[in-house]
Chain A
Amino acid sequence: MKRRKFVFLSIAGGLATVTPFCRSPKPTLSALNNPQFLSTICDVPTIRKIGADYRATNPAEDRESRLSDLLTADLDANKDRTEQITGKIRADFAAGRTVTLEGWVISLTEARQCALNSIQMP
C-alpha cells in the first residue's frame, strides 16, 4: 500500500468510527423554521417563546418531522419555498387561520415555523 493511500484510508476509517457518535451539523435558518416577516419585528428569543407556546398547546405537532410535514404539505418542489410559505401565511391571515401565542396574533403557518425553530435551535 502506498503511503498516500494508507493515510487516506486511515483518516476515512477514523471518521467512519467517530461520526456515529457526533451530533449532526447545526441546523441553519431556512424557509421552514424562519418566519420571515415576524423576524423583522420580533427578536430570536421571542420567536422561540412563541414556538414553545405553540408546541405546548398543540402536543400532537410537537415533533420536528410532523411540523416539517405540515409546513411542506402543499408546497410545489419546483417553486421557491420561501415565496410559497409567504403565500401560505397571507392566505392564513385572509382566511382567519390565526392563533394567539404570547399575545401575538399570527398565522398558523408562522406559529409552526416558530415551533420548528424552537426545536431545531433551542
Chain B
Amino acid sequence: MHTDARLLPDNTHIEGDICIVGTGPAGLSIAMEWNHTPFKIILLEGGGLEYDDQMQDTYGGPATGQRYYPLRSTRLHYFGGTSNHWAGFCSTFDPLDFEKRDWVPHSGWPIKKPDLDPFYAKAQEVLDLGPYEYDVKYWQQKDPALRSLLPDNPVVWNKVWQFSPPTRLGKKYGDAVKKSRNIHLYTYAHVTGINANEPVNSVEYLKVTNFAGKTHSVKARYYILACNTVQNARLLLAACPQAPKGLGNDHDLVGRFFMEHLEVQSAWLHLPAPSQLQLYRFSGIGSSRMRCELAISPEMQAKNRMLNGTCSFMPWELSKGMVPPIKMWSSEDPRKNEDSMHHMWSSHESSAKANVEGFKVWELKTRIEQAPNPDSRITLSSDRDGLGMPRSQLHWELTPFEKYSMRTLYELIGQQLGAHDIGRIRLMDYLRDPDDHAWPDTTGGGWHHMGTTRMSDNPQTGVVDANNKVYGISNLYIAGASVFVTAAAPNPTLTITALSLRLAAHLKRFIIK
C-alpha cells in the first residue's frame, strides 16, 4: 500500500506495529520480512518514488578534515535509497573483522561471523548475488581460467567479491510493497521529530513533514531508524526535544567513529610477461559475476599489527588516464556525478575488452578499513535544511595507522610475488617514506559511511546493543552501517542487508513471543 504523505490532510495520525524509517537496503529488506504477516508495518520514505532535488538537498552539509565528496550527493533520498546508484560490489566480512584486535583500538563486535552467516546467505538472494560461496576454489572449479596469481601461501590470499546486477531495491520490491496489505509505504514522510516519553526511555511517536507544508504523526510499538549512517546520527542528535544532547547519547557516542573505506591508487605490479589476470578483473557493471582481490591472512595482520585491506588490479595502460573518484565526484548533484563515473567506466571497459594479449604493468588500488576513531564524526551544523532540521556536518579524520597499513599491505604482497618469481611491486610516491603521514590529493573513500551509532555489549562503548536496540530506549532500533563497529575491507551493502535481516528475525521472535 502506498500513500503520498503530501496528499494527506495536515496532522494525520498514522499507527502501526512497527515503523521503519528509510527504504534503502536496510529498511526495505526488513520490511519485506514482514510482508504477509498480521503486523502493520509503516514504512516511511522522506523522498518520493523518484529522484527529487528539493528532498535531496536535505542531505547536504559541510565537511572538514580529510577532503571528502559533497555530503549532498553521496546518498540518495528516494524510494530504494542509495541502492539506486550503487555499483553492486559485495563480499563478506572476515571472522577477524568481528574480533577484538589488541592492535586496533575500539575494535571488537558483540557478535561474531557465525552469528551473521545464515543472514549473509539470505542477503545474497535479496541482492541477486550468486551462491553463498566466498571460497575461490569453488569459482575456480567452475572456470579453470580463473588462475591465482600466487600459489597457496600463509601470507596473501584471494578474497572473493560477488557482483549484484546491481539490484535497485526500489524497483525490485516496489510492486510488492504497493500491493502489500500490511506494509504501508508513505513517501514524502520525512522524519523531523522523535518524541520520547518523559523519562526518555521509549519513543512515543515520530513527527514527519514535507515541502507541501504537511506535518503528520506516526505511532508504533517499535521503531527502526534505517536511514543511513549520517542521517541516523543526525536524527538521534537533532530530532528529540526531550533529549537535547541527543537520544541514546548518554555517553557522547552518537555521531562519533564515522568510518569510510579508503580507496586509493597505491602501487604498480610489474610482470615479466603480459597477463590478463582473469581472476582479478572487473569487466563492468552488470557483466561481472565475481572477482578476487588480494588480502592479508589474519595471522600476518596480527604479526604486523595492521588494518584489514585488499588490493585490486587495473591495467596501467588504461587506468593512467582515469580521474580519481575524489576529483570526479565533485558535484552537489548526484546525477551529474553518476553520469561522469559511468562514462569513464564504460570507456575503460571497452578499451580493456579490446586488449587480447594482456598487460605487463598493473595499477594496484587499495581498499582498506579506516581505524575506528572517535574524532572522525558527524555533528550538527548551525545551518538548517529546508524542513528546519540542523544539517549534518562531517569531520573525516584519518590517522597514520591507515597509511602504515597500506604500505605494509604492499610490502607483504611484494614479498610473496618476489618469493615466487611472479613480479615486483613499486609503491607510489606518497607511500615510500614511512615517516610521511600526508595523504595524496587522490585519496578518496568508497562512498561507504559507517560507525556513527556503533554496536557494543556495553552502553558506555556503544549506542546499540547486539540486537541493534538503542541503549536506554526500549522500543527504538537502528539498522544500517551506522551500527558497524569496524569497517572491514568489503563494500558494506551485503553486511548491511545481513544485519538487517538478523534484526528482522530478532524482532519477529521478540514480538511474536
Contact = CB atoms under 8 A, between A and B. Distances in A.
A105 B427 contact: yes
Contacts, number: 59
Interface string A88-99: 011011101010
- Please report whether the interface of chain B is mostly helix, strand, loop or mixed according to DSSP: mixed
A90 B418 contact: yes
Given A93-B416, A104-B424, A104-B425, A98 B411 contact: yes
Given A100-B432, A105-B411, A93 B270 contact: no
Contacts of B420: 90
Contacts of B414: 93, 98, 105
Interface residues of B, number: 24
Interface in A1-45: 37-38, 40-42
Contact of B418 (A102, A103, A105): A105
A107 interface: yes
Given A98-B411, A100-B411, A105-B414, A41 B419 contact: no
Contact of A89 (B410, B416, B418, B427): B418
B289 interface: no
A103 B421 contact: no
A106 interface: yes
- Most A Cβ at <10 Å: residue of B271, B272, B415, B417: B415
A90 B411 contact: no
Contact of B424 (A38, A92, A94, A96): A38
Given A103-B426, A105-B425, A41 B415 contact: no
Interface string B399-419: 000000000001100111111
A98 B426 CA distance: 12
B429 A103 contact: yes
Contacts of B417: 93
Contact of B427 (A40, A42, A103, A107): A103
A93 B418 contact: yes
Interface of B: 267, 270-272, 360, 410-411, 414-421, 423-429, 431-432
23 contacts: A37-B272, A37-B424, A38-B424, A40-B272, A41-B270, A41-B272, A41-B423, A42-B270, A89-B418, A90-B419, A92-B418, A93-B418, A94-B415, A98-B415, A100-B427, A100-B432, A102-B426, A103-B432, A105-B418, A105-B424, A105-B426, A106-B418, A107-B418
Enumerate the 5 nearest inter-chain pairs by beta-carbon distance, A residue then B residue, closest first: A105-B414, A93-B418, A93-B419, A41-B270, A40-B272
Interface of A: 37-38, 40-42, 89-90, 92-94, 96, 98, 100, 102-107
Given A41-B424, A104-B427, 5 more contacts: A41-B271, A41-B360, A90-B421, A104-B426, A105-B418
